[in-house]
Chain A
């Protein structure tokens, strides 16, 4: 048992080291900064610039969080503070199922509903032409995927706020929204930040759904209606050819390493924050 436990501690280290080892070939030839900030992507001539992909990933992720955050916050507040038990009894299973639906199904839904909607009704109002396979589509699909995670985390965090605080606020004549805004949200703010960071790392690593709806054109997107090419999609799309070109494998492994590093930091920070929050209220 001890061996298994200690081994699992090293699992993270092994994964990081393995990816670094594989990407060391490309890191030896180019310096780190030129890889990350380079714009040129042409594997045939040995040019590997990851900027379009990293930016694509960041844009899609940020967009999804912007869409999902207000919806999840309001839903979680509604479920914890404002509503009757029978509503939560209906909503919880729905969230459970949403959390369990595989990403390929989300991707399918995105291509059948969101993409045509953007191409036919939303897009033409703002731009001349859009295929629908856009940054916006990726953001919307991802936001639906992270809403269940955010809501369940928020509910957990809100329920750690002691009831005495809320009662005190109510006895001073505050309405429920005033209590929520001035007591619950304020007390839970570190937890909210942690939950958001956690959902960012989930959205950042999501592969198949974004691969299916984002369009995958190499280039930095300039508007919501441009197509994007996030990092995970890059890896998933090209794994087949990666052994055929020099440095290509190394480049893709570098992409995996970048994702690993970013998610590692985000996750560790948010988990430590969440634990602090829990301890603070447990007393």
Chain B
């Protein structure tokens, strides 16, 4: 056999091996989290606040972290959508394809996308000190909003860019204003918005480094935006550093919960993309 065919065989084997390694990592992560988490994932865990001596292994649950995470994620997703949809429309409908402003806006969002959450956290912390805010729900929401706006803009822009020029021209020729054209565009990018939302929820719920500075941690459900708030990833992190085995087991359970949420979001994202795609004009 010629050398090139032997080479081909070897490389093919290596490729399959590499893909299997990726699979292996995936399986190992899911298996580890499920195996360690399931035994301690009880109804009490998700339905109760931490009781007295919770961090010494006594009774209680992580409802504070679940509610806290949900509050932050919901508020920042809504805020993020409100801010990023106009930006996406502006650079895609109002500006020309060759516009300098659009180019630099895209570039700056690309860079913002790469800035790690801990830098956002540190930055937001300095702002909060500047305005005299304490670690609070509000601070957490601000950081997470900052963090997910680039995700929103980038993934919606990706879809909005592919809306055909003819479609826009057709609406203009019917006498539509730019704002009315946006209504047509929003139909076209609906699946994009949906997947972008799920993507940012996933990122927002899993982020810990940003809220470490700004949201604080508490055993209660916050009553006002100025109260500190607990989040799931931080709850995993803090309980994991405990020397008591019962507490560490709760961290495993909380991590499992977090993973399940992310899994659901990811599957829902695929389904939604498939369903909403029917309005698309290629």
**Residue A8, interface by CB 8 Å:** yes
Given contacts A2-B90, A111-B240, A208-B237, contact A268 B111 (CB under 8 A): yes
* Distance, CA A215 to CA B120, complexed state (A): 24
Given contacts A1-B94, A202-B114, A263-B114, contact A104 B208 (CB under 8 A): yes
Which of B54-62, B184-192, B218-226, B262-270 binds A? B262-270
B14/A74 in contact, CB under 8 A: yes
Chain B residue nearest to A147 (CB atoms) is B22
A75 interface neighbour in B22, B209, B240, Cβ under 8 Å: B22
Tell me the smallest distance from the CB of B107 to a CB of chain A, in Å.
Answer: 6
A77 interface neighbour in B15, B32, B270, Cβ under 8 Å: B15
Tell me the smallest distance from the CB of B200 to a CB of chain A, in Å.
Answer: 11
**Residue A178, interface by CB 8 Å:** yes
Q: Which of A248-270 contact B (CB under 8 A)?
A: 252-253, 256, 259-260, 263-264, 266-268
Given contacts A109-B28, A113-B28, contact A94 B109 (CB under 8 A): no
* Distance, CA A145 to CA B240, complexed state (A): 20
Which of B40-48, B168-176, B252-260 binds A? B252-260
A144/B25 in contact, CB under 8 A: yes
**Residue B282, interface by CB 8 Å:** no
* Distance, CA A266 to CA B114, complexed state (A): 9
* Distance, CA A74 to CA B8, complexed state (A): 13
**Residue B167, interface by CB 8 Å:** no
Residues of chain B lying within 8 A (CB to CB) of residue A263: 114-116, 119
* Distance, CA A111 to CA B255, complexed state (A): 13
Q: Interface size on A (CB < 8 Å)?
A: 79
Given contacts A97-B266, A106-B29, contact A207 B15 (CB under 8 A): no
Given contacts A94-B26, A268-B107, contact A4 B83 (CB under 8 A): yes
* Distance, CA A72 to CA B199, complexed state (A): 22
Tell me the smallest distance from the CB of A33 to a CB of chain B, in Å.
Answer: 22
A71 interface neighbour in B4, B21, B91, B269, Cβ under 8 Å: B21
B118/A8 in contact, CB under 8 A: no
Residues of chain A lying within 8 A (CB to CB) of residue B117: 205, 207
Q: Which of A123-167 contact B (CB under 8 A)?
A: 144, 147, 151
* Distance, CA A104 to CA B122, complexed state (A): 19
Residues of chain A lying within 8 A (CB to CB) of residue B108: 8-9, 11-12
Residues of chain B lying within 8 A (CB to CB) of residue A178: 4, 7-8
**Residue B236, interface by CB 8 Å:** yes
Q: Interface size on B (CB < 8 Å)?
A: 80
* Distance, CA A36 to CA B62, complexed state (A): 41
**Residue A37, interface by CB 8 Å:** no
B209 interface neighbour in A98, A144, A208, Cβ under 8 Å: A208
Tell me the smallest distance from the CB of A203 to a CB of chain B, in Å.
Answer: 10
Residues of chain A lying within 8 A (CB to CB) of residue B91: 5
**Residue B229, interface by CB 8 Å:** no
Chain B residue nearest to A97 (CB atoms) is B266
Tell me the smallest distance from the CB of B109 to a CB of chain A, in Å.
Answer: 7
Given contacts A82-B12, A256-B122, contact A98 B26 (CB under 8 A): yes
**Residue A204, interface by CB 8 Å:** yes
A5/B90 in contact, CB under 8 A: yes
B111/A271 in contact, CB under 8 A: yes
A271 interface neighbour in B12, B22, B107, B263, Cβ under 8 Å: B107
B123/A75 in contact, CB under 8 A: no
Residues of chain B lying within 8 A (CB to CB) of residue A74: 11, 14-15, 17-19
A177 interface neighbour in B7, B23, B26, Cβ under 8 Å: B7
B109/A101 in contact, CB under 8 A: no
**Residue A19, interface by CB 8 Å:** yes
A89-114 vs B, CB cutoff 8 Å, 1 = contact: the mask equals 00101111110111111111101110
Task: State the A residues within 8 Å of B (CB).
Answer: 1-2, 4-6, 8-9, 11-12, 15, 18-19, 21-22, 70-75, 77-79, 82, 87, 91, 93-98, 100-109, 111-113, 144, 147, 151, 174-178, 180, 198, 201-202, 204-208, 212, 232, 235-236, 239, 252-253, 256, 259-260, 263-264, 266-268, 271-272
Question: What are 5 contact pairs spanning A and B, CB under 8 A?
Answer: A2-B90, A5-B87, A78-B18, A177-B4, A212-B237
- What 12 new A-B contacts, CB under 8 Å, besides A105-B258, A178-B7? A1-B87, A1-B89, A9-B101, A15-B119, A77-B15, A78-B16, A102-B208, A102-B233, A177-B8, A207-B117, A208-B233, A268-B107
